[in-house]
Amino acid sequence: MTYAKLGNLRFIGHLDLQRLFERALRRTNLPLRYTQGFSPHMRINLASALPLGFIGEAEQMDFWLDDEVSLDEISNRLNKALPAELILKNLQVIDNQLPSLQASLLTSEFEIVLPPDLEPGNLQDQMNALLEQDSLPVQRRKKTVDLKNLILTWQLDCQPAKTLMVTSMKATPLENGRPDELLVLLGIDPADCVITRTKMVFSEE
Amino acid sequence: MQKININQLEKILYHVEKPGRYVGGEHNQILKDWDSTHTHVCLVFPDIYDIGQPNLGLAILYDIVNQQPDILAERAFAPWHDLEAQLRENKIPLFSLESKHPLAEFDIIGLSLPYESLYTNALNVLDLAGIPLLASERGEDHPLIIAGGQACFNPEPMADFIDAFVIGEGEEVTLELIRAFEELKESGADRKALLLGLSKLPGVYVPSLYHINYAQNGTISGFTPSEPGVPAIVTKRIVSQLPPHPTRLIVPNIETVHDRLSIEIMRGCTRGCRFCHAGVVNRPVRERSAAEILQIIEDGLSSTGYEEIGLLSLSSSDHTQVLELTRSVYDKFHDRKVFVSLPSLRIASFSVELMDELRDLRPGGGFTLAPEAASPRMQAIINKPLDNEVFEETVRTVFEHGWLTLKLYYMIGLPGETMKDVQAILDAGKRVLAIGRQLRGNRVKVHLSVGNFIPKPHTPFQWYPLNSTDELQAKLDLLKTGIRRTGLKLSYNIPDNTLLEAWLSRGDRRLGHVIQRAWQLGAKFDAWGENNNVPIWRQAFFETGLDPDFYAYRERALDEILPWVHIHTGVTKAFLQRDLEWSKQGKTRKDCREQCYACGILDSFGKVRPVSPLVYWGCP
């Protein structure tokens, strides 16, 4: 399932989103698959946690059914069961043998709308200067992460009405890029920006 | 009027813990168009979202008001410290979750006051909304502030801050009040005339329309309406039959307490425990039929997707169809992967059978029983008699049926209690643990949970003083020493933490100054024990020249005019006094379904009792 997470739901964290999906799926009355055992859990699998405050345009999730149901039927029921700001974009039947979404996620792409009062001026120069450094260490809780390794592309897109930043970053469990950390390096408060994860790229295998 | 700047607000939300508390957008939220609805009501639960959103009373009123196409009801909660600091710093007024309108833009604000420890939060909410705290300082353009909930059966401590209280059940009177408000406004009534008009609605109490005189000794010498036509006595409202239960309940996006489909299966209780406020103010007992409850579960699960159901009442094993209900719940829902909890069970093997009917539908964990008192003497005093054989048989059944953890609720500080009665709690715990270990071995855990008794208005114990902190501490010390090396687990409340509830629950109107001063000195979230705001409250009492001991530790004379003299629950003072007398004699009363003790409920409400035998009332 590909979905968008918008509006107020940007402020709902990953674990809460997981519970929200479980309840939405229960409302569909679809033949959902549960784990075996004393306290069965619904089998669902979200590709990657979206940081609080970010918009997700093409988020992905897997869920399992016990019986075959047409995609149209699933889509109809999901549309009724999802909260207004979680929008179903696409459904696809996948091979059960495929590795999990988390295991096959390679990169995430982000679009950042910079604050309207920010002068782009020498922003490009600042970005280039950062990219020319050997490493870009940032502090995450107790460990230091080198952002330099995580940036695949990073560009500025100055449009007449707004200034955008577009970046593609590694998104594997061990190496996960966060665009808000790039903004902090530039001295921009991420809370002043609108950050959207626009795409997730998965391994073809 | 200041509008909320959404961009500014969103920026702030990046910097608070759990921003999901403040944004709404949940499934089943009702978002109406502001401009095309005539009257705007904001329902406010003055604690954080996590605590307030699951409140069933809030859900019921939200549903009832929003069923009216021309009225809009939205929600607001108290912000946690982090957001409050941001709102104050950025001068953003408190807003509703649905449309993010400032509270001051609503026509009516309905405050939920189920317990006293929310009073300072209520003031804080009004202040954050930019609304004057004192009803007397509010003008024509300010919203009407109404309050309701179980604490409002003694409205006096909050009388200075509330324009009108709703006394009793809100299902019918809420809409009557809103419609009367609209009519009075349309007729051009000013605030004074509006309040006078509202005071004539049954169950509505407008505190500014009463004069109170005090005697030299600080007690009340007179309580009279100050305008003609204002009722001297306000009788609570009840619904003659429990109205349709809401099923399109808001499903929170973040984790809350009691995050489940809560269903009220019965209102009221016929047992007559003498310490129990809820047992008096919620009379008479009214039930929903098993068939209706099953339909509510069906509809509720479809519309919410919840994985847990709570079947709520004051005494679930007393529901006349409870066995049929638990059996059908299992039959109908056992393949739907739901948990069912059935709290508030009586001490009887029957209760264990009920839980057994729910088998794999119950959440894991322990079994809970509430004897409240352990010695036969205390049990007679509080009218909760418990035959020791029945108790031990129940305990045995609990362990035999698979539970390994048993939690027992007791109270200390009850009237007439001696150290022997406290020792009896320990002895009971030890006996229960021995039974459990004999049956199931050392895996068995017995947990004694001990609360401090607080005398409550409208109960037969309303005249008693609170135990002093020293007395309570001595009793706790006995328990703490006594459980050593027994294997029992003990949890208890710090004596000081009961003071606030004791002061406020039987307080008079003068306490308004104390509440306001305590809030100014920084008291809020008083229900959160770790805050320990007692020193602040003592300071507030000191500065306002009132004596806290007058409210907590004084035995009231039977002929004293109590601060809630004008609030009638349907139960008469004569009945309460007789019951107090019986308590002193160690005389118990039966379940009042077996025999009527003429508490007064039928005199007050017999007229509205449905004639259909299909509508169950607990009264004979």
pLDDT, tens digit (0-9, with 9 covering 90-100), for B140-174: 999 999 999 999 999 999 999 999 999 999 999 99
DSSP β-bridge partners for residue A169:
A108, A151
Q: Is the pLDDT assigned to residue B359 strictly greater than 90?
A: no
ipTM of the complex model:
0.94
Which region among A26-35, A139-148, B228-237, B525-534 has the lowest average model confidence (pLDDT)? B525-534
Mean pLDDT of B545-572: 98
Confidence of residue B527 (pLDDT cuts 50, 70, 90): confident
Residue pair B410/B371 in contact by the 8 Å Cβ criterion: yes
List chain B residues with CB under 8 Å of A25.
305
Chain A CA closest to residue B360: A38
Q: How far is A101 from chain B (nearest CA, A)?
A: 24
What lies within 8 Å, CB to CB, of B172 at 6+ separation is B237, B239
How far is the C-alpha of B112 from the C-alpha of B166, rounded, in Å?
A: 10
Q: Do B255 and A16 touch (CB under 8 A)?
A: yes
Closest to B25 (Cβ–Cβ): which among A13, A53, A83? A83
Q: Is the pLDDT assigned to residue B112 strictly greater than 60?
A: yes
Residue B618 amino acid letter: G
Confidence of residue A205 (pLDDT cuts 50, 70, 90): low
User: Comparing C-alpha atoms, which of B465, B458, B467 is closest to residue B577?
Assistant: B458
Closest to B25 (Cβ–Cβ): which among A26, A53, A84? A84
Helix extents (H) in B282-418: 290-304, 322-333, 349-357, 376-381, 388-400
Q: Do B302 and A29 touch (CB under 8 A)?
A: yes
Chain B CA closest to residue A83: B27
Confidence of residue B2 (pLDDT cuts 50, 70, 90): low
Q: Do A11 and B19 touch (CB under 8 A)?
A: yes
| Helix (H) or strand (E) run with residue B427 in it | helix B419-440
Q: Which residue has the tokens 């328990």?
A: B479
Q: Do B364 and A12 touch (CB under 8 A)?
A: no
List chain A residues with CB under 8 Å of B27.
20, 23-24, 27, 81-83
List chain B residues with CB under 8 Å of A22.
305, 307
Residue pair B605/B572 in contact by the 8 Å Cβ criterion: no
Q: Do A85 and B254 touch (CB under 8 A)?
A: no
Length of chain B: 620
Tokens of B540: 């507030």
Residue pair A30/B337 in contact by the 8 Å Cβ criterion: no
Tokens of B54: 């699951």
Residues B294-300: contacts with CB under 8 Å, at least 24 apart:
B294/B325, B294/B328, B294/B329, B294/B332, B296/B245, B296/B247, B296/B263, B297/B261, B297/B263, B297/B329, B297/B332, B297/B333, B298/B332, B299/B247, B300/B245, B300/B247, B300/B249, B300/B261, B300/B263
Chain A CA closest to residue B30: A84
Mean pLDDT of A12-22: 97
Q: Do A85 and B251 touch (CB under 8 A)?
A: no
Mean pLDDT of A109-138: 92
Chain B CA closest to residue A116: B7
| Helix (H) or strand (E) run with residue B204 in it | strand B204-205
How far is the C-alpha of A157 from the C-alpha of A166, rounded, in Å?
A: 7
Give the best residue of A21, A27, A114 to mutate against chain B (max B CB count within 10 A).
Answer: A27
List chain B residues with CB under 8 Å of A7.
25
- CA B378, B484, B493, B555 torsion: positive or negative? positive
Structure pTM? 0.96
Estimate to the nearest angstrom the gap between the alpha carbon of B443 and the chain centroid: 36
**DSSP code of residue B246:** P
Q: Provide the CB-side half-sphere exposure for B399 (13 A, CA).
A: 22
How far, CA to CA in Å, does B548 sit from each of B197, B254, B470, B535, B553?
36, 40, 16, 12, 8
Which region among A11-20, B64-73, B213-222, B347-356 has the lowest average model confidence (pLDDT)? B347-356
The fourth-level CATH superfamily of domain B6-235 is Cobalamin-binding domain (3.40.50.280)
User: Comparing C-alpha atoms, which of B607, B216, B555 is closest to residue B415?
Assistant: B555
Which region among A122-126, B121-125, B428-432, B526-530 has the lowest average model confidence (pLDDT)? B526-530
Average pLDDT of chain B to the nearest whole number: 96
Q: Do B307 and A23 touch (CB under 8 A)?
A: yes
